[in-house]
Amino acid sequence: MSDPLTRTEIETLGRGVGGSPWHQVSVDVFDRPAEAPVLGIEELTDRVLERLPFAPRFRRRIRESVTGPDWVDDVDFDIDRHLTRHSLEAPGTLGQVTDLVARGLMRPLDPAHPQWDLMYVDGLRGGQIAIVTRVHPAYVDGVDHVHLLQELYDDEPVWDPPHPHPWQATPEPNPTDDVVSGVVDGLADPMGALGRWATRLTRGVEQGLGWVSEQGVPGLGRQEPAQPTTRYAGGALLSLASVNRVRDMSGVTTHDVLLAIVAGGLRQWQTQLGAEPRDVIALVPLAVTDSPKLRSAVGCQVAPQYVRLPATTASPQGRIDHVASLTRSRIDSGHTVGGDRLTRLAGFAPATLHAMAARTVTAGRAHDVFLANVPGPRAPRYLGGWPLHSSYPVMGLADSQDAAVCITSYNGRVGIGVSAAAPVGSFVEGITSELLRLDGGRR
């Protein structure tokens, strides 16, 4: 059985910079519990196969048909095509993992098969392992389709061995059947046929995108996209308690603090690259209440909002105050969904929410930076018996973006992933030092 792509999915597939690929990446680091055996690639493969029925689109590919692009089962689906292993020379570091991510941001996924892959990385210090997952954001809509990682990670340790279930692909429809079916349906019910085409064009657009029309957006002087050269990636791990202390001292929200420290990192990055600091327009997706016509699997939609990040403001506290004044009207609108609600979702919902956030680029407004902040679970999540230590979300560049910054808070930690077409070391260091200054030098 085929399923037509929505307009949002079609537009999402067209994103990228100068023909370079566009991926959502999750770098998830796991601690090895003392009582657990090594989590090998074989067990990981079985756990993925066991959970794929709950994320069925991850077995589907996109087929071009005479009636438009459709989702169809990959009749040649092979899990070994999607899972690989990479061993670091111990003791490996997060920097080595982000180097792998940077290379992966320039490597396209195979459009002839489901566009995702998962890399198992061992050799990290302390016996940790990392799971690096790439997926095209078109695969996750948050309504009927969630991210595989949301289903793969559990709220409690699972010690029982996985039991994958047999799966049989539905054969692809014959192309001539598409033509005949479309013609016959159109003759029998011309208005219904028009309605189906309208559905193809508009289904999914109601996922909060209409909300953007309420916002005024400053113009940009630079419209040229970043060139598809080398990609760079980096990650930082912050203390959520430190972020919250700054929040309480400043009388703002956690979201405001995180946006402000990113602005501080951006200022240092611009200076390091030899440019004068300048304010930039950031696409900052925001969780909003479900539309009455479209209920999601995660209890919210994600809408685009645009914020001018105050990189020219010299004072760290001044940046917080400036960001808070910009975001207050959005919070007071009554449309937003509180972070507390998002932290209680089952599984590992940040993976789904980051994909939903990525799809807001289809709103089409020019911006310099993509900045997604997703509050995650406050309690541990597990892959089998292995506890998730930290998660670093990373997004490839789309359209005219200079950089993409993704944030996930989880279990007392805040993981931040940065990607750009220029080295990001000073950006990451600027974020961490900004929080350190604001928190009075406490770590």
Residue 38's pLDDT band (cuts 50, 70, 90): confident
Q: Could you tell me the two tokens for 5?
A: 């792509």
pLDDT in tens, 220-268: 334 444 455 689 999 999 999 999 999 999 999 999 999 999 999 999 9
Q: Give the Cα separation of 276 and 49 in Å (integer).
A: 50
pLDDT tens sequence across 359-387: 999 988 999 999 999 999 999 999 999 99
- Give residue limits of the domains in the chain: 1-166+173-443
pLDDT of residue 175: 64
Lookup result for tokens 């997060």? 94
Decide if pLDDT at 86 tops 60.
yes
Instruction: Tell me the pLDDT tens digit for each residue of 100-129.
Output: 999 999 999 999 999 999 999 999 999 999
Q: Are the C-beta atoms of 236 and 251 separated by less than 8 Å?
A: no
Residue 301 corresponds to which amino acid? Q
To the nearest 10 degrees (0 to 180), the angle between helices 175-188 and 190-202 is 120
* In the chain, % of residues over pLDDT 90: 67
Third-level CATH fold of 1-166+173-443: Chloramphenicol Acetyltransferase (3.30.559)
SS3 of 31, please? Answer: coil
Q: How far is CA 338 from CA 78, 322, 330, 334, 397, in A?
A: 40, 21, 12, 10, 28
Average pLDDT over residues 16-38: 85
Integer Cα distance of 199 and 299 in angstroms: 22
Buried b (16+ CB within 10 A) or exposed e, 295-307: ebbbbbbbbbbbb
- The pTM (predicted TM-score) of the whole model is 0.86
Using a 10 angstrom Cβ sphere, with 0-12 exposed, 13-18 middle and 19 or more buried, the burial of residue 119 is buried
Which residue from 405, 351, 387 is spatially nearest to 39, judged by alpha carbons?
A: 387
Q: What is the pLDDT of residue 331?
A: 53
**What's residue 178's pLDDT?**
53
pLDDT computed for residue 311 by the predictor: 96
Question: 135 to each of 25, 417, 432, how far by Cα in Å?
Answer: 7, 16, 28
Whole-angstrom Cα distance, residue 3 to residue 11? Answer: 16
Mean pLDDT, all residues of the chain: 85
Q: Are 293 and 206 in contact (CB under 8 A)?
A: yes
What's the CA gap between 221 and 341, in Å, rounded?
38
Element (H, E) at 306: strand 306-309
Phi, psi of 374 (to 5 degrees): -120, 115
Evaluate the CA torsion angle 107, 111, 112, 115 in order and state its sign.
positive
pLDDT value at 423 more than 60: yes
Among 27, 24, 25, 31, which residue's Cα sits nearest to residue 381?
A: 31
